[in-house]
Amino acid sequence: MKYKKNRKLITEGNLYRVIFSIALPLMVSTLVQRAYTLTDMYFLGRLGSLQVAAITFVDPIITAILNMGLGLSVPMIATVSQSIGAQKYDTAKKSIGNLIYVAFITSLIIGVSGLLFSTAILKLLNLEGRLLSLSSDYLKVVLLGTIFTFINTCYISIKQAEGDSMKPLYMNVTALMLNILLNPIFIFQMNLGIIGAALATVLSKCLLSIYGIWDTFKGSGLKIEKKHLTINKEEFKRMVALGLPAIITKIASPLGNMLINSQALSYGPALIASVGLGNKINSIVFSLNSTLCTAMTTITGQNLGNKTPERIKEAFKKMLMLIFFLGTLGLSVVLLFSKEIVGLFSNDPEVIKTTTEFLRVTFPTVFMWGIYQAISGIYQGAGYTKISMYITLIRLWIIRIPLIFILAVFIGEKSLWYSTAIATNSIGVIAIIFYLSNSWMKNNKYITV
C-alpha cells in the first residue's frame, strides 16, 4: 500500500525528499485554490472596481467556512499521521470515518445557516446599496457549494496525513482549468456577472468532490468502509478538545479581516479593492510558505508515532532554509514588479498606487510568517492545537486590530498595512519562544497510539 511506503520515507528517508514529496504537490494545490478567487478578480476586474470590492468583502466569510473544514481536519491529521507512524492502521481509518461523519453534518448546518443570514451579516459590516447587492449575490451562490468545500478539505487532509499529495493536486488543477473556462462564459457570454463567477467556482469544486468521495472509499489509500462512519462519545470529546482550538485558529483571521474591511470601508471602495487585491497577491507566496510548512504536521505526527523526535528538529532546520529561499525569491519579484503585477488585476490608477504601497510594506514579513507556520505545523502534528490558537489570537486581536485604530490617528489609511507588518513579525518571535520550550515533545493525553 502506498501509505505504508510513504510511512517508511517519512520516518526513515532523506528529509529534504520528505518535505518536497509532501509539500510541493500541496503548494501547487494551494496556488490552485488561491487562483479560484484571483480568476474571479481577473475577469470581474474588467467590469469595475466595485465587483472586486464585493469579492474582497465576501472572501473572509468564504475563507472562514473553508477554515472550519480545515480546523475539523486537524485532529484527524494528528491522529492518522501518528497512527500510521505506529503502524496502527485501523485506528487511522476510524479517525477518518469520524471526520467524514462530523464534516458532512457540519457542512449542512453552515450552508443552510449561511444562506439564511448572509445578507444580515453583510449589513452588519456596513455594506449598503450596490456593493451590498453584489456581495450578497456572490456569497449566496458560493454557500450553495459549502458541502463541496468541506468534502474537498477533508479529502486533501486525509491524503496529507497519509503523506500522499499528488492525487489532490491532479484534481485541483483539473478543477481550476474548468473554472477558468467557465468564468468568461458565465460572466460575459451569459451576462451573469458576479453570479457567473461564483457559479463557475462551485461547479469546479463539485468535480473535485466527486473524485474525492470515490477515492476515499474505493481508491488505493486507507480504504474507508461503512463501519468506520460512526462516532462515539470518547471520539467526539477528542475531536472537540483538539478541533475547537484549531477551528478558532483557522477562523480568527478571516473574522478579523471582516472587521478590518469594515474599517477600511470608511476610506472608500477603492481602498477596499486595494487591500483585498494586496492580500490576494501576498497570499500567493505567503500561502506557499504556509503549505510548505504543512509538511511539518505530517512529519511531526508520523515521527512522534515512530518514537523518532530528533528527525522533527532536523526537518525544522531544513524547513527554515526553504522558507528563507522562497521568501527571498518572492520578495525580489514583488519589489521589482509590484506595479506590473497589480496592473494585471486592475486598471484603476488609485488602486494600483495604493496596492503597490501596501505590498512593499507587508510582503517583507513573509519570513516571520513562514517561521510561525512551521512551528504551528509542529504543534498541530503533536496534537497541541491550543498553542496555535493562542498565537493567532495574540497576532490579530491583541496586536493588529488595536494598532489599526491607534495608528489611524497618526497615519490614516496606512494603519491598515503597517499594523499587519508589526503583528506578523511579532508572532514569528512568539512562535520561536514556544518552539524552544520543547513543549511539543510531551505526550498528548488526547492522542494514544
What local confidence, expressed as pLDDT, does residue 446 receive? 47
Task: Say if CB 306 and CB 360 are below 8 A apart.
Answer: no
What local confidence, expressed as pLDDT, does residue 403 receive? 93
What local confidence, expressed as pLDDT, does residue 445 receive? 52
Number of C-beta neighbours around residue 152 at 10 A: 26
Q: Is 135 exposed, middle or buried (0-12, 13-18, 19+ CB in 10 A)?
A: buried
Question: What is the Cβ-side half-sphere exposure of residue 312, based on CA atoms within 13 angstroms?
Answer: 29
pLDDT band (50, 70, 90) for residue 87: confident
Nearest to 224 by CA among 159, 149, 297: 159
Task: Say if CB 77 and CB 116 are below 8 A apart.
Answer: no
In the block, residue with C-alpha cell 491598515: 416
Nearest to 391 by CA among 441, 431, 440, 435: 431
pLDDT at 449 > cutoff 60? no
For the question of whether the overall pTM of this predicted structure is more than 0.85, the answer is no
What local confidence, expressed as pLDDT, does residue 429 receive? 93
Share the mean pLDDT of the chain.
83
Q: d(Cα 276, Cα 60) in Å, to the nearest integer? A: 10
In the block, residue with C-alpha cell 502506498: 2
Q: Is 366 exposed, middle or buried (0-12, 13-18, 19+ CB in 10 A)?
A: buried
Q: What is the pLDDT of residues 323-380, one digit of tens each?
A: 999 889 988 998 888 888 888 877 788 888 889 999 999 999 999 999 998 998 888 8
Q: What is the pLDDT of residues 21-36, one digit of tens each?
A: 877 777 777 677 767 7
Residue 36 or residue 118, greater confidence? 118
Three cell numbers, residue 194: 458576479
For the residues of 378-437, what is the DSSP string, one character each?
Answer: HHHHTT-HHHHHHHHHIIIIIIIHHHHHHHHHHHGGGHHHHHHHHHHHHHHHHHHHHHHT
| Choice among 66-75, 350-359, 380-389, 404-413 with the minimum mean pLDDT | 66-75
Q: d(Cα 306, Cα 212) in Å, to the nearest integer? A: 28
